[in-house]
Amino acid sequence: MTTLQDTEDASETDLAKHDEEDYVEIKEQMYQDKLASLKRQLQQLQEGSLQEYQKRMKKLDQQYKERLRNAELFLHLETEQVERNYIKEKKAAVKEFDDKKVELKENLIAELEEKKKMIENEKLTMELTGDSMEVKPIMTRKLRRRPNDPVPIPDKRRKPAPAQLNYLLTDEQIMEDLRTLNKLKSPKRPVSPSSPEHVPSTPVENPSQRYEARIEEGKLYYDKRWYHKSQAIYLESKDNTKISCVISSVGTNEIWVRKTSDSTKMRIYLGQLQRGTFVIRRRSAA
């Protein structure tokens, strides 16, 4: 009985050892298979034929191409924007250059015209007042020198400088004064009682009458009234002409008015308003 039990225990021990050896063998086989698979994947990775590697590389390539396309689009848009700005700045520079060139030409023409007008006025003034500007020689009596008298020493004093004209009036004021001088210098004919000139006429404005006119802070003070830009007025002249105007601008020594009939502009100086050459009256703007 004891012998049979020992035999059964020995059989069970051998079976357990056999199962354990099989498990170890199977585990070793699994390890070898997994190791072989990893080596095979590593070999495929090095060769570039691994499926997972190819899949990820394809995804990276798509991302790279997308970024490259976006960069090219951004470059194209930025280039177009820079070209548009360049064309815009170039046109603005050309326009500014043309405007400055026209302005410079107009300023030079106006300056030359002003100089030309001044020269013509000087010539006209010299022609009209030439007789009064001529230096007449002083008549002196020369006595005969006696034999014992000393030889006279010539006078070496400096000769007087020629007279110069300093214009403190405007061109219009000078021309008006010259016309007044010409009227005063013209000879008056005797008037007979029966002639038309003897008939009494309407009283003429006194030339010595003065009006108060000045410009302060861009406004005109005339005849105890203030006038400003865009104000509707009546402009009366010495020949009783009445013109409907609007003050277009107020300068430092003159005003510009625009006729409502034909929109032409006139320049009126303070001196003309002070002397009564032109008279300003208010009118309704309606």
d(CA 232, CA 230) in angstroms, rounded, equals 7
Enclosing domain of residue 267: 213-282
Tens of each residue's pLDDT in the chain, 286 residues: 555 566 666 667 767 777 777 888 888 889 988 998 888 888 888 888 888 888 898 999 999 999 999 999 999 999 999 999 999 999 999 999 999 999 999 999 999 998 998 898 888 888 776 544 444 444 555 555 555 555 555 544 555 444 444 445 666 667 777 777 776 655 544 444 444 444 333 334 454 567 889 998 889 999 888 999 889 999 988 777 888 999 999 988 889 999 988 888 888 898 888 888 889 988 875 5
Residue 275 in any domain: the answer is yes
Where among 86, 114, 129 does a domain terminate?
Answer: 129
DSSP assignment letter at 277? S
Task: Return the pLDDT at 132.
Answer: 43
Residue 222: is it exposed, middle or buried by C-beta count within 10 angstroms (0-12/13-18/19+)?
A: buried
Where among 80, 106, 129 does a domain terminate?
Answer: 129
Where among 73, 106, 129 does a domain terminate?
Answer: 129
Residue 93 in any domain: the answer is yes
Task: Return the pLDDT at 256.
Answer: 92
| Closest CA relative to residue 238, chosen from 195, 209, 267 | 209
Task: Return the pLDDT at 195.
Answer: 43
* Cα end-to-end distance, the chain, whole Å: 149
CATH code of the domain covering residue 228: 2.30.30
Residue 271 in any domain: the answer is yes
Alpha helices in 129-206 (DSSP H): 130-133, 171-185
Q: In total, how many domains does the chain have?
A: 2
Token code pair at residue 92: 């603005």
Q: Which residues contact 272 (CB under 8 A, 6 or more apart)?
A: 172, 173, 176, 278
Report residue 188 CA to chain centroid gap.
58
Q: How far is CA 179 from CA 50, 96, 118, 174, in A?
A: 114, 46, 17, 9
CA angle 211–212–213, rounded 5-degree value:
110
pTM of the predicted protein model: 0.30
